[in-house]
Amino acid sequence: MIVVRLSEPLSTFILYTAMLEVMEAALERIGALLALAPLPQRAPAAMPDRHDIRFEAVSFTHARAGAPTIRAFSALLPEHSLTALVGPSGCGKTTLTRLLLRHFDPQEGAVQIGGIDLRQIPAERLNDLISVVFQDVYLFNDTVLANIRMGRPTRPRPRCGRRRRRRNALNSSSGCRRAGRRPGRDRRQAFGRRASAHLDRAGAAQGCADRRSG
């Protein structure tokens, strides 16, 4: 009887010890990330007035890599267009995306948006220009509407008219533990979450323009 009574708190202690080790390792990684110096910004600061993307003779080699991941890569992605990067694993597709997000700078060449080098665009403004939906999407254990509004909590509830099915869809659960999840639907919710603030700003600007023209 004594052994049975001691086994439960002992197993709980072992479980908490393992959790503390995981938390400690996570805190060390977070501390190392926060200790990194921000990438330098070139003067003068500038913002693009168009949104075509250009990779100009870009070369990049990862730390401790034996060969460049990207070598003298050049491409123009016109605005209002759809571009797919296709290639085998390890060819540099993700690296190009991270260069566009300016997670790091190329050793050679330049990445531009609207003819402006990314190194001239302030970091907070660059994040407003680009929306990313990753392959692995995390959804909170809440409704579809709540997950979308994470991008902008003050966003007003969209008008659903008289269609009850649309309202029910927004109020349905999309939590991370829901069975039968569909990756495509999850990514659409993540895109809505990221784009909601941008679409609201664009809509507000268009509304002002409409009022002025009226």
For 24, phi then psi, to 5°, come to -65, -40
| Residue 56 and residue 74 in contact, taking contact as beta carbons nearer than 8 Å | yes
pTM higher than 0.75, yes or no? no
The 3-state secondary structure of 40-75 reads: CCCCCCCCCCCCCEEEEEEEECCCCCCCCCEEEEEE
Between residues 55 and 167, which one has the greater pLDDT? 55
pLDDT digits (tens, 9 = 90+) for 152-176: 666 666 554 444 444 444 545 555 4
pLDDT band with cut points at 50, 70 and 90 for residue 4: low
The pLDDT of 87-94, averaged and rounded, is: 89
Residue 113, exposed/middle/buried by CB under 10 A (0-12, 13-18, 19+)?
buried
* Bridge partner list, 37: none
Q: What is the C-alpha end-to-end distance of the chain, expressed in Å? A: 84
Q: pLDDT at position 203, please?
A: 39
Between residues 163 and 27, which one has the greater pLDDT? 27
The pLDDT of 33-45, averaged and rounded, is: 89
Nearest alpha-carbon partner for 128 in 151, 99, 112: 151
Token digits of residue 127: 């994040």
Other C-beta atoms closer than 10 Å to the C-beta of 160 total: 15
Distance separating alpha carbons of residues 77 and 87, to the nearest angstrom: 17
| Residue 34 and residue 111 in contact, taking contact as beta carbons nearer than 8 Å | no
Q: Is the pLDDT of residue 51 over 70?
A: yes
